[in-house]
Structure 1
């Protein structure tokens, strides 16, 4: 297996540099070839096999290719209908678009996240499922605000994480490890205020992380007990 990443390591845009480096080496230790700082320029099919040409000029052959590219929100239909668009379909706190009779939910939605105090767009099932349920109720006469701070998660070999808020390695970072890069909590801050929390192999603390972000408290090791 060969993995190509444009960044310096796996999850580099989200994880602290040392954690990203540790994770990258964990993949390599399991015989996964990780080529950092490299992207696929184009693909060619040769019989039952593929050949990938990278931006560095390398050529790689494979039986199968899996592309993890993220998404661009499909907003053309909404735009054609005259709805407000800005990094997704813009909705208010009731998930109502700029047209009072049209609602939207899920990965495509740019919504105001009250715990963070800013607009965000989230590509994960927790947000989509929760928003969809509230949008459906509001379309049938309810008036429920979407004030939920969604979580997201993943499993990477024996490592796993749950996270809430903004995870961006460019933010100020406070790390609190019980065992470095194997069990700990990482706080992402802006001007010292917690904006996101990564629970790395730490479980059942998502609600505590949500409460910490909503409190607008300053980050400190031990802010979340586990």
Structure 2
């Protein structure tokens, strides 16, 4: 009974965190859907400058196109699932690994739903670098990178010392920023798309981590390892 109450409190904290942290994302999504003049103009100017910069540098364009494919959700999520499998089989973090994998794929599905809900068109630019299908807000690449970065950082935290934890967290941030830059420089996303994606991915993974932390702390000894966040 006590464990049930503790688990409910943990889920409540996760929900509260998710709602509070989602406010900036929801506000940005509303501005995008309402075609706010300030956001739309900033997006237009930035994407135009970014695509001109890329179009003038063929080597950068080729690198960005390679990055677009390498950083696609299908490959990043499969790699993340491989890390989860390693943590389960080699390090005995079965429940923690299942949580991380579930969060990664759940965030991916939520991102697809958010795209359909907002229904924003891709940028229209003069210096076309490449084109991709689908809608634009939030950026699936950026959201996925943020969710994977948070999930794997939390997953491997107990296995690392302080410097190792800092290195993994730094790598996660760099991955997210590189992914976001790739999308804007290729002209397939507005800056607000990638900002929204990064925020939403972080919110989803963060709320999931808060909920799992409370659940694991409430679980009977031996049924689930505690999660440190």
Q: Would you call these one fold, judging by a TM-score over 0.5?
A: no
Bigger helix share: 2
Higher relative contact order (CA 8 A, sep 6+): 2
- Greater strand proportion: 1
